[in-house]
Copies of this chain bind each other. A is one copy, B any other.
């Protein structure tokens, strides 16, 4: 698993988004126990405080919950996860299309370009 960090965004947000994706995509399953903050931070090569902050963000949106004595766990409510997945994918699409139109591409161009990209880069992997 890769933990690529770039400097343009706060680290805790990048980590937060990364873990969020791992949950949404099903890599972490409902009810799974997360590694301890110390271990998790070590794995990602970041400061434990930063990992703590990232996990707090995830807890705020009910994607994980804390069991004081046992650690942090992925929510067992699959609705929460599914809803977030839908909401995020719509958001990604909306942002993407807005940016593409800003540089002067219309719907047709966008569809064409993305199909082309997928043809070239993904199908034959």
Contact = CB atoms under 8 A, between A and B. Distances in A.
A117 to B, nearest CB: 5
B92 A21 contact: no
B92 A99 contact: yes
Each complex incorporates copies of this chain amounting to 4
A118 to B, nearest CB: 5
A79 interface: no
B114 A26 contact: no
B104 A24 contact: yes
A2 to B, nearest CB: 11
A25 interface: yes
A118 B18 CA distance: 27
A31 B104 CA distance: 18
